[in-house]
């Protein structure tokens, strides 16, 4: 089964398409079918995509936004028959900030999209691009393909309360949801499992 993962930065989109066996797998048993990066989204950008079969794409082009970047990736995967007529069985999206609403990976639906929008002010340069990729993926693949949001901030949600608080007035912190959320949690989680 094929799983597609998107990682949107403020001006980049990275992706991987992996194939895993249908039986239960452990770390390292997936096969990477394709991966790539679209850089400098919103200006004269660069696309670098490589497939396991040796097919690649490297070009300088203008990519307007993360929606267009997502569409280009999906079109390329289909054009090179890496998806064929089938869609991936699931799509994962790295989302930088889950605020106090999201503390673990979650299946994306309309309410989750609204929740990510609601905490978007906490990471405006990152959450909006992730939402653009989520919406574009849903529009292209349809709502039958499950999408999951995985939050960078979720890994650090177990910080002790004394560590999560800043040395500022409690009322100010509560009013504006100011706390240590911790970032790059996905990188920490990955290294732990190795």
Is 100 a catalytic site residue?
no
Distance CA 38, CA 9 (A): 10
In 3D, which of 119, 126, 93 has the Cα closest to residue 9? 126
Entry field: residues in the chain = 194
Give the integer Cα–Cα distance in Å for 17 and 154.
23
Task: Walk across the sheet containing 147-151 and list its strands.
Answer: 56-62, 44-51, 31-39, 13-19, 2-8, 90-95, 147-151, 106-107
Say which of 39, 65, 111, 152 is annotated catalytic. 152
Measured CA to CA, the distance from residue 167 to residue 186 in angstroms comes to 27
Side-chain-side CA neighbours of 70 within 13 Å: the count stands at 25
Q: Could you give the residue numbers annotated as active site? A: 152
């Amino acid at each position: 089964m094929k799983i597609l993962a998107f990682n949107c930065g403020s001006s980049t989109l990275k992706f991987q398409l992996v194939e895993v066996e249908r039986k239960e797998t452990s770390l390292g048993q997936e096969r990477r079918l394709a991966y790539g990066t679209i850089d400098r989204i919103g200006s004269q950008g660069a696309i670098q995509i490589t497939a396991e079969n040796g097919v690649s794409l490297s070009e300088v082009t203008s990519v307007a936004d993360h929606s267009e970047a997502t569409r280009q990736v999906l079109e390329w995967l289909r054009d090179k028959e890496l998806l064929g007529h089938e869609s991936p069985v699931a799509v994962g999206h790295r989302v930088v900030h889950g605020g106090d609403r999201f503390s673990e990976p979650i299946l994306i639906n309309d309410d989750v999209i609204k929740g990510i929008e609601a905490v978007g002010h906490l990471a405006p340069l990152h959450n909006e691009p992730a939402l653009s990729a989520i919406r574009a993926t849903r529009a292209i693949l349809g709502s039958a393909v499950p999408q999951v949001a995985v939050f960078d901030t979720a890994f650090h949600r177990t910080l002790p309360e004394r560590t999560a608080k800043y040395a500022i007035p409690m009322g100010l912190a509560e009013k504006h949801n100011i706390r240590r959320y911790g970032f790059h949690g996905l990188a920490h989680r990955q290294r732990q499992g190795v």
